Structure 1
């Protein structure tokens, strides 16, 4: 392939270069396009947060490598990019993202445009790199490419699910702890672990559990949770004694109301 692919995304020209036989992007151009006020700081924070390894996800070009890259950029673009804000001709170092690093940044950013840009890269840029011939790596393996595409599609679906469910949780009156649990559950289905432990302030029980606690069973020997629910409606239950909780069971997901142990005591006394 040529050493340059130029495509337009949302009115911005995005330059894909080849370096060490791998596609790369000038980190500053990508981060600038996302609207960050301090791209250098954002790049550094991303590299640290995502634990990038130099040579794998990114590369810091200095000295002779930087001179060579600047020369390539100037030759293939036929433009004076080297003297522009994209590459200052006096800069002593330049960070480029390889493909893994670009995906890492897109995972790191919280900008909504990230999902759209990820789809654009996958559909518009990477296919052209493969079609033109000289980009050879493990990502050229069809199975690997398919897995990567499925992973990204799944993450996009999860992001959309979070956007859709958040207003519903607000209407349901659930607190921030429950919202975080919902997000953790959704992302876990995509294989993404959110490293935040959620601890309940107090243990809550559903009507089935309360039925077992107070010894209420139907003629078939099952917990009489329906009867417990009717009793609870007749009791004076304080707001702090109940909580809307997100749960999932098999393919079902939704909210249920659970109660504190004090409600179980009230049901027991009512009996």
Structure 2
């Protein structure tokens, strides 16, 4: 199929899910390759997960296999352009041997339907707040750090966890997941509704590229507590979010309490995040990629 539809010498945009054999065919036809890397280098992901497992005294298999690492290496070696969505993810690629000259920083947007006007943020007099997390409920997303911070903060409302729950994580952190203030919802196709009902967003991921969930939360005007990785390019400490070290439970708990106790802070962060989210559109993301590919085409 590929030889019939791709002209020789074309500049081709691919995702890492493309079969290595197909990539080889493109190279044999003299094509130049632009590849999307949506997260950290897989070896960096593996290191982060295994460091967390060691810290927590856990041992179980995870998704970063030797085969996945080897496949990514093929793509990075063959690529003429590598798209990466934040500085930390970019650095992880460089640390594991990717040519820095290939890497182009860009952005992602979201899949949510953005409300035409922001919802009024509830005041503290309106009852307990609704806090939201969206993503896989596992070590890499830092949910164990979030749960510890949540408990130390005094469980100031209800924490809703939306996403697939890893079974090994569920067994290891059952005491936290079974707190009365923590609600597990699993995967949802109607995640817009969760954002609309939430008062704040919590996301302490340990390895991210361009976390769409953080952009979605910002678009819905939610004040955020994030890690540096979980915040991506949209979480600016003190302006659009409170950015914490996820391994520092005191810092996390303090940030959650600040968000919970201060309605004015929630309003300021949420409004600023919504305003900033206008720069994270798929149109802008496409322009950045198209510009990089056009420059690459013109360089040969």
Normalised TM-score (structure 1): 0.27
Instruction: Specify which structure has the bigger relative contact order, considering alpha-carbon pairs within 8 angstroms and separated by 6 or more residues.
Output: 2
Asked which structure has the greater CA Rg, the reply is 1
